[in-house]
């Protein structure tokens, strides 16, 4: 075991390997407030990567309905129950992570479990079901019931539990972009990674008898003969609600205020990691939903929830500008600049790839259209 930095926890933690951070780290911000649960992202991923024999149950991208939906079912509540008390003091995590709590096994494997087969069968169980009520001790003045959509892909964690657990060293984190992959030649299908991944984002293919997982669409990011370097993953490009912004995320010490992900995560502290207490330092960040009890959100996203919701509720002009960049281009926005009436996004070479106006043009139609000799009515 080595001691590694985990900035989500504001402390060092135990990890089986010495940490070497990637030169750049792939990441994304998802704005839960905008998701309409259309599952277009899910199908975009499905039709690109998981349409083969043995992948019938595999949804590398899924959108579940919280609090009771889950894919696989109970993926988070089962592990939270095993983890024990999860206390934060002044933004610092004082409980144990999955690497620090003994699993009781022969080796040093992270705390985990393998879901039962039926739990993989219903990827959208309880979809759109508002079953959480104030009677469970969770309430808001404005709502008795609540639910929200939770968009989930592999987090390409800084300290991946899947990698830590693999006895074959078949899982690796690419040093150039931090993407976590399973070497299909080395994998023997022991499924230790499935037990260890706290987000349950490695999945077993019973036909080829290997584990498979989200690859962050790295061929799109890398580019090639037929496509430009820097294309964003399919789930991000296809998102109907424009809730997703992918790019590169830095550590707090190296954060750049003109990098949209750094701006949202580090500067504005608006986007938060999912279950940071697990300890893997996940790299997908969420803007929490505004209509959900804070107590419930705090156990999912850590202690920054109240501040994040206050910021999201009253965004200033700069923040509104960055939020407008979501879903505007299929290329990775590496830098942004705010001009008088537009926000601009730039690629790795500094080329402007998108320009979005702060205010959309507004047209009021005349009652009588002389050109077509028609009268138009706006419904009251």
* Binding flag, residue 160, ligand SF4 (CB under 6 A): yes
Residue 270 Cβ, how far from ligand SF4 at the closest point, in Å? 17
Query: Which of 213/295 has CB closer to ligand SF4?
Result: 213
Sole window of 36-44, 46-54, 133-141, 302-310 interacting with ligand SF4 (rule: CB under 6 A):
36-44
Q: Residue 29's closest CA among 325, 336, 275? A: 325
* Binding flag, residue 285, ligand SF4 (CB under 6 A): no
Rg over CA atoms, the chain: 22
Distances 237 to 63, 163, 204 between C-alpha atoms, Å: 16, 28, 26
* Binding flag, residue 39, ligand SF4 (CB under 6 A): yes
* Binding flag, residue 202, ligand SF4 (CB under 6 A): yes
Q: Given candidates 5, 22, 33, 37, which one binds ligand SF4 under the rule CB under 6 A?
A: 37
Q: Residue 280's closest CA among 157, 118, 140? A: 157
Q: How many helical (H) and strand (E) elements, i.e. helices and strands, does the chain have?
A: 10, 21
Q: Let me know how long the chain is.
A: 380
Backbone CA torsion sign across 181, 194, 7, 320: positive
List Cβ<8 Å contacts ≥24 apart for 80-83.
Answer: 80/275, 80/299, 82/111, 82/113, 83/111, 83/277, 83/278
Residue nearest to ligand SF4 (CB): 241
Query: Which of 132/235 has CB closer to ligand SF4?
Result: 235
Element spanning 297, H or E = helix 294-301
Sole window of 6-14, 35-43, 184-192, 268-276 interacting with ligand SF4 (rule: CB under 6 A):
35-43
Q: Given candidates 73, 277, 280, 311, which one binds ligand SF4 under the rule CB under 6 A?
A: 280
Query: Which of 170/239 has CB closer to ligand SF4?
Result: 239
Residue 94 Cβ, how far from ligand SF4 at the closest point, in Å? 22
Residues that bind ligand SF4 (CB under 6 A): 35-41, 63, 149, 151, 154-157, 160-162, 180, 197, 199, 201-202, 213, 239-241, 243, 280
């Amino acid at each position: 075991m080595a001691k590694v930095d985990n900035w989500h926890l504001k402390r060092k933690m135990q990890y089986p390997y010495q940490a070497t951070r990637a030169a750049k780290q792939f990441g994304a911000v998802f704005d839960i407030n905008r998701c309409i649960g259309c599952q277009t992202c899910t199908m975009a991923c499905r039709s690109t990567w998981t349409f083969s024999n043995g992948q019938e149950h595999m949804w590398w991208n899924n959108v579940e309905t919280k609090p009771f939906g889950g894919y696989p079912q109970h993926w988070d509540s089962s592990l939270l129950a095993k983890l024990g008390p999860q206390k934060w003091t002044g933004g610092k995590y004082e409980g144990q992570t999955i690497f620090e709590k003994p699993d009781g096994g022969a080796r040093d494997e992270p705390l985990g479990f393998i879901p039962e087969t039926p739990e993989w069968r219903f990827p959208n169980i309880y979809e759109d079901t508002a079953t959480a009520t104030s009677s469970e001790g969770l309430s808001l003045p404005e709502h008795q019931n609540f639910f929200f959509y939770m968009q989930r892909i592999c987090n390409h964690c800084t300290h991946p539990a899947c990698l830590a657990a693999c006895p074959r060293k078949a899982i690796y984190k690419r040093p150039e972009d931090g993407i976590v992959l399973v070497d299909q030649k080395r994998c023997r299908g022991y499924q230790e990674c499935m037990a260890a991944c706290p987000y349950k984002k490695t999945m077993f293919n019973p036909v080829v008898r290997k584990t498979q997982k989200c690859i962050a669409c790295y061929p799109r990011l890398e580019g090639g003969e037929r496509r430009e370097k820097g294309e964003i993953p399919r789930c991000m490009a296809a998102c109907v609600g424009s809730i997703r912004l992918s790019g590169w995320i830095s550590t707090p010490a190296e954060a750049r205020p003109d990098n949209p992900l750094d701006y949202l995560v580090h500067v504005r502290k608006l986007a938060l990691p999912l279950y940071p207490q697990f300890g893997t330092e996940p790299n997908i960040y969420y803007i929490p939903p505004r209509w959900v009890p804070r107590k419930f959100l705090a156990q999912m996203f850590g202690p920054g929830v109240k501040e994040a919701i206050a910021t999201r509720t009253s965004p200033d002009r700069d923040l509104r500008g960055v939020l407008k960049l979501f879903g505007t281009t299929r290329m990775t926005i590496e830098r942004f600049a705010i001009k008088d009436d537009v926000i601009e996004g730039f690629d790795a070479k500094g080329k402007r790839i998108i320009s979005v106006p702060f205010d959309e043009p507004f047209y009021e139609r005349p009652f009588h259209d002389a050109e077509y000799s028609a009268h138009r009515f706006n419904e009251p």
